[in-house]
Chains A and B, each alone.
Chain A
């Protein structure tokens, strides 16, 4: 992976990303750029390559080909990453989890970062509670908080609302929308994309088929502008997927 020259107007630049697992190509020459403050939803059928793309952006997987940069730097270290399953130590308290990752991320003032994040996720009163005793929604908040500890300019979320009930999901999206950070998230819930995403990346069989606003996707298939899901299915059908 090489580092492309970037600029502040283009926080994330991805060019020609390809990833293979044996004979199977999980990502095929994916290219896109993001503007600051964008909320980008990655959608597509199962096996489309959504998690693979996010894992490469997060630095968990290395691409076989292609390059990406975040304001001119390697993405992995600088982006905040929130995996699909909460990556937390259930025997540690909320504050201890935050403190551990703040120290590992070499945050300048770990204790201040922990207290700030506890307030931000509205769990200051449960700071000493073991994470394993929290609800799924609150665990996901802590999970996201860890991704935000280093104050990244890009936050990567892999199906952040997958295990949440509608009320928890609503609270989570209010929280994410209020961050003001560039966010890339994957989801199977097209409604979330329609409501919160400023841009859609549509992946199928490792190929990036579409990038644009939800409205542009609906217009592309000439369907009902109020039904993004129907537009997405129709788009995939038209492209032979």
Chain B
């Protein structure tokens, strides 16, 4: 087996394109994942036009003024704005691709907000134009702007409530407000009650005004008590929902480490399967297989050599890849020996699957194509989120995922990389069983197809 390994390494050394692809491909995947995980998404370019004339963007809320247009400008914080001078120019920027979206603040926005607040009637609307060319980018922009609009709505709502609470306090306790440039003093309900109470005390017992003033005092008591509750109640409405977050027992794999593990396993799968399938098929396409198995090497020995070659190369390449990814994502280097163990088991399992495919194919190109075609659905099935499919289909997908190495390899490697429970023992056992099964299938396939 040693000489066959040496021979295969010599052949690989003289196939720079193949080796280059096997090395460059995982590194490219690692780079993409690394940059994707380490860089926040960029701000989308959005054309912006404010139709509200200067100085007319404020609304009056009792004694205070609110700059609605100013709040709308907060949208700038989520986007890369292109300022335009007309609605048409903003829309044109979207049409010609300079902007992914256009936000128009209509001229009547302050009036609509004022009407809604004071009379309960009005539909303040910010207009958004999206580019339909790229649905993914459109969704991204839509989400970014919608989230920002929600924040603006909440900010306006809070400001309105703050004004309303302030005014109610003045009705209750008295104070002063600015009306048409003049300061007007408000008496306040509590002060009015005190005055009426004093007046009532100074009246004769049989005064006909007493019952009426007593009713005024009773009303004032009730109103004071009711308005006293208004502040905390209105404050609660300003922040209508509080999320009480609870962490359940048990740690989970950090998202970044999990994404890194997926990248590593995808690369490992391609390297191990393509190499094992291709190098075994090479023995047949070079017509060397019959010469080898007539006593020089057993079919089992030949398969073991291919699995060892593919497993070794895939382990080595993905170890380098994991080290590279760790520049971008925190991976637990203290568990390096578990990385090696998990990657080695996974590589060997995929190598066994590769030789099972290579045993069926007569030519390297056919074996490589088959390995590639088989690998994609294996990865897809294992990565479908449990919540994305219904019960029966989920069971079917779980069974299929269980029969191939991707899921077990992903569990083992993600747990090894991030140091999370439940450890890697079970996934490694699963991978070992799959290796034996695919190795057995490969031997059967060799017996069935190799003499053709």
Contacts and interface: CB of A to CB of B under 8 A. Distances in A.
A55 B10 contact: no
B287 A87 contact: yes
B119 interface: no
A85 B3 CA distance: 23
Interface in B266-313: 286-288, 290-297
Given A55-B290, A60-B290, A91 B11 contact: yes
A83 interface: yes
B251 interface: no
Given A89-B11, A91-B14, A58 B288 contact: no
A104 B10 contact: no
Nearest to B291: A87
Contacts of A38: none
Given A87-B286, A91-B15, A105-B296, A81 B10 contact: no
A223 interface: no
B164 to A, nearest CB: 83
Given A89-B7, A91-B10, A92-B7, A76 B294 contact: yes
B451 interface: yes
A96 B10 contact: yes
B14 A130 contact: yes
A59 interface: yes
Contacts of A58: 290, 294
Nearest to B450: A60
Interface in A94-135: 96, 100-101, 103-105, 130
Contacts of B290: 55, 58, 60, 83, 87
A85 B6 CA distance: 24
A77 interface: yes
A100 B3 CA distance: 7
Contacts of A91: 10-11, 14-15
A59 B295 contact: yes
A104 B295 CA distance: 9
A36 interface: no
A77 B287 contact: no
A184 B295 CA distance: 20
A87 B297 contact: no
Given A86-B287, A89-B288, A60 B10 contact: no
B14 A61 contact: no
B291 to A, nearest CB: 4
Contacts of A103: 3
Contacts of B451: 60-61
Contacts of B296: 101, 104-105
A164 interface: no
Given A85-B287, A87-B288, A92-B11, A76 B3 contact: no
A85 B284 CA distance: 11
A194 B11 CA distance: 42
Contact of B3 (A87, A88, A104): A104
A31 interface: no
A76 B451 CA distance: 16
A100 B7 contact: yes
Contacts of B11: 89, 91-92
Contact of A104 (B14, B15, B287, B292): B292
Interface string B88-109: 0000000000000000000000
A172 B192 CA distance: 128
Contacts of B297: 104
Nearest to A88: B286
Nearest to B3: A103
A91 B282 CA distance: 11
Interface in B295-342: 295-297
B291 A146 contact: yes
Contacts of A138: none
Contact of A90 (B6, B286, B291, B294): B286
Contact of A83 (B4, B7, B14, B291): B291
A89 B9 CA distance: 12
Interface in B426-452: 451
A59 B296 CA distance: 11
Interface string B379-393: 000000000000000
Interface string A124-167: 00000010000000000000001000000000000000000000
15 contacts: A55-B290, A59-B294, A59-B295, A81-B291, A81-B294, A85-B287, A89-B7, A91-B14, A92-B7, A92-B10, A96-B10, A100-B6, A101-B291, A104-B297, A105-B296
Interface of B: 3-4, 6-7, 10-11, 14-15, 286-288, 290-297, 451
The 3 residue pairs across chains A and B that have the minimum distance between CB atoms: A104-B296, A59-B294, A87-B287
